[in-house]
Amino acid sequence: MDLETTAAAVLATLPPQPTVNDLSDRTFGRITALMYETVGLSMNASKKSLLASRLAPRIQRLGLRGYDDYLALLLDEHEAAEFQMAVDLLTTNETYFFREPHHFELLEKELVGRRSRAPLSLWSAAASFGDEAYSTAMLLAELQKSGQIGSDWRILATDISHRVLLSAKQGIYPVDRLRHVSPERLKRHCLRGEGAAEGQVMVKDELRERVQFGQLNLCKPIGGIGPFDIVFLRNVLIYFDAETKRAVIDRVAATIKPGGILFMGTAEGRAHAESGLVPLIPGAFRKPMR
């Protein structure tokens, strides 16, 4: 039996893939309420088709009868891994190295302008697959080598998704994800794959060792980390409603040193006035000195 025939035979044993018509408003409401209460993910009624299409292949693969069965699985405290899988399916982790380059230009200007070799602490608060954290590490390693900052710097990278963190720790990426990295910088910090790994690159050990990864839910109280000179909180606030967004910004801002900078996604709006953060450029805010 060839591979195509085997695949067809396997598919024939699976239940039909559910559609949005199989997702009741009640079940949709319970799933979205669970996501909001647990991880702050806000999905209104207009997202029903999106939720249904994202979860349908997983429901079929598990051999479940439909969305009600999947909800029961998500509510089972012993199925934490499946809940995490659902979070991954319902959020978008697409990213790439040196996204929003004007932020990295400001970061470089800020660090060079310090004219100090004092320790530096940075936080990538929604790290996803690590592109942002490793981009920052590349920049800091180069500033260190040129003597513009000291050698005592560290980057903490956190995300709610255990799956993406495992991938981030490996530091292996399709080369297209580094399309904004110059050939010189790519050669300096990465190894190109050969043979079966052609088309991929791996971040070198000396850079990966500078980044500490950990799981963290931004919608819960933050403790035991910081204070930070620089925090990236980009491309995650889009998943939250206004109230949750304000609370997350306040929690994150509390971890920033006076005079430090918070970077947010340019398309995610402004930090609310009550946070006290002062706009610098689109998506960048300074925490005032006391």
Q: Is 234 annotated as a binding residue?
A: yes
Q: Is 132 annotated as a binding residue?
A: yes
Residues paired with 173 in a beta bridge: 201
C-alpha span between 264 and 283 (Å, rounded): 5
User: Choosing from 68, 114, 117, 159, which is the catalytic residue?
Assistant: 159
Q: Is 154 annotated as a binding residue?
A: no
Q: Provide the token pair at 222.
A: 């933050």
Q: Is 270 annotated as a binding residue?
A: no
Q: Is 44 annotated as a binding residue?
A: no
Active site residue 115: no
C-alpha span between 41 and 51 (Å, rounded): 12
Which of these, 136, 143, 154, 198, lies nearest to 172 by C-alpha position? 198
C-alpha span between 266 and 102 (Å, rounded): 10
What angle do the packed helices 101-114 and 131-145 form, to 10 degrees? Answer: 30
C-alpha span between 111 and 230 (Å, rounded): 10
User: Choosing from 22, 30, 54, 163, which is the catalytic residue?
Assistant: 54
CA-atom Rg of the chain in angstroms = 21
> With 0-12 CB in 10 A as exposed, 13-18 as middle and 19+ as buried, what is 237?
buried
Q: Is 218 annotated as a binding residue?
A: yes
> Coil, strand, or helix at residue 91?
coil
Active site residue 246: no
Helix (H) / strand (E) containing 191: strand 190-192
Q: Is 217 annotated as a binding residue?
A: yes
C-alpha span between 53 and 32 (Å, rounded): 14
Q: Is 62 annotated as a binding residue?
A: no
Which residues carry a binding-site annotation for S-adenosyl-L-methionine? 93, 95, 99, 132, 159, 217-218, 234-235
Residues tagged active-site: 54, 159
Which residues carry a binding-site annotation? 93, 95, 99, 132, 159, 217-218, 234-235
